[in-house]
Structure 1
Amino acid sequence: MKEKPSSFSIKNWNIDDRPREKLLQKGKAALSDAELIAILLSSGSRSESAVQLSKRILASASNNLQELGRLSIAQLMQFHGVGEAKAVAITAALELGRRRGNGVELERHRIVNSESAYLCFLPGMADLAHEEFWIMYLNNSNKVITLTQLSKGGITGTLVDVRLALKKALEINATAMILGHNHPSGTLVPSETDKQLTSKMKRAAESIDIKLLDHLIVTEKNYFSFADEGLI
């Protein structure tokens, strides 16, 4: 009796060995070059998995990504299991990597006090006729990773989901946050809701080792800092 060939489908692999799942669970650095290329390929052929196909493609380029980048789309398509779409995906990914290497890293703005935080928030909030709630996420050098709008409301208020704020912080490896929202009325007096939210956000952030450095109320000409006023 003829023995049935074993399945080469990645779906039949242990979940820890599947490239996509491995990236999600362990991070991009845990994957080999072949596994990363396999994600681009998405599938292999009847006789080999995407990872095996990727290893074969890499071997043809002496397992060197620079050499692989020199292969044309036509050359990539000579491999069984690689059609035009897959060849284009590999070529595009390698070109992005080349451009990234030639690029200049974005200079991150460092927050040194409440005024420097205010100047970051101001351009997006200065002349709004409604309230918006933003979060500034920082790294361990107090440099800005990103500014994110968490919610948008009416003239007198906006709802804030603490869980979404912290979820984003974990996703981008932030170690600190600064809250910011505007008062279209121009008043710089924090409401009881503002105080309660600040306290709630601080407690939640501390539970996952993220610091809440400040909460700013922003108007076009001035600001109120919870940290400067000893409210954090």
Structure 2
Amino acid sequence: MQKRASVSKQQDNVTYIDTTPHPPTHPDPSTTLIQALASEPLARLSEFELLQLILQEQETPDIARQLYRRFATLREMEHAGLGELMEIERMTLCKAAALQAAFALGRKIACKPLYRGQTFVSSRDVYLAYAPKLNILEQETFWILLLDQRNRVLKQQQVSQGSINRCTITPREIFTPALREKAVGMILLHNHPSGDPEPSTHDRKLTTQLREVSVLLGIKILDHIVVGDQSYVSFADRGWL
């Protein structure tokens, strides 16, 4: 902070010295992009510019550049822990926390809550509803969507959580909730933390086994969707059901 030049004022034989600190007269460097928002909608800014805003370093985006050198994609950046972010030169705890908070807020917005009676018209609808929730997990998780006779959602339930590349599940875990809810149909859903949604041999064998049991119980499996990083595979779309 700069100080205004001292000025003496004589009053009643007492001398007063003005030492009040005053800010520098040059403009705040953080206003460049913020001022641009007055004429440009936020949606038109690039990923890099949005990152600059979150980190509050509009004119000299050193941290933003380092983040892009360290992490190839925003997805990798999102998965980075606080310790990894703090390894970036000039990164502060406040900036790292703000970045993680922005990613977390985005996930909450994307994860639209399912409600009883909701319907899905395509495998893509199911993928879009669950991808934000499943893509951040480091272990495979297996979910079921239980449906009524009009394919409306009765209940969603996670039935198993496994390792990074395998999720062990039994027909009992799948069909006990379905019988309890009197479901007549279901959609199977699980994620691949590797990012590759291509079903494994185990996935296909398990689906065949579950389909055989479903026929005996009169509960139709409408689809089995494998969620990967920015893509998915639908057993129904491939004609495997």
TM range (shorter): 0.5 to 0.7
TM-score in terms of structure 2 length: 0.51
Cα deviation, residue 185, structure 1: 0.6
Q: Could you say which residue in structure 1 is the equivalent of 2:195?
A: 186
Name the SS of the counterpart of 1:207 in structure 2: helix
Determine which structure has the larger strand proportion and give its number.
Answer: 2
Q: Could you say which residue in structure 1 is the equivalent of 2:27?
A: none
What amino acid maps onto 1:133 in structure 2?
Answer: F
Change (3 A) 1:223 1:185: same
What amino acid maps onto 2:137 in structure 1?
Answer: L
Q: Could you say which residue in structure 2 is the equivalent of 1:202?
A: 211
Deviations 1:178-212 (A, max 9, x none): 11110011112111100000001111011111100
Cα root mean square deviation, aligned: 1.3
Q: How does 1:104-119 map to 2 (within 5 A)?
A: 108-119=117-128
Q: How many aligned residue pairs are there?
A: 127
Structure label with greater radius of gyration:
2
TM-score in terms of structure 1 length: 0.53
Deviations 1:103-138 (A, max 9, x none): xxx652102111112123224312111110111111
Deviations 1:81-118 (A, max 9, x none): xxxxxxxxxxxxxxxxxxxxxxxxx6521021111121
Q: Could you say which residue in structure 2 is the equivalent of 1:138?
A: 147
Q: 5+ unaligned residues in a row in structure 1: which ranges?
A: 1-105
What amino acid maps onto 2:169 in structure 1?
Answer: V
- Whether the aligned pair in 2 keeps the contact of 1:131 and 1:152 (CA below 8 Å) is yes
Name the SS of the counterpart of 1:134 in structure 2: strand
Identity of aligned residues (%): 37
Deviations 1:139-169 (A, max 9, x none): 1111111111110011111110211211110
- Whether the aligned pair in 1 keeps the contact of 2:197 and 2:229 (CA below 8 Å) is no
Find the aligned partners of 1:134 and 1:163 in 2 and give their Cα distance.
14
Q: 5+ unaligned residues in a row in structure 2: which ranges?
A: 1-114
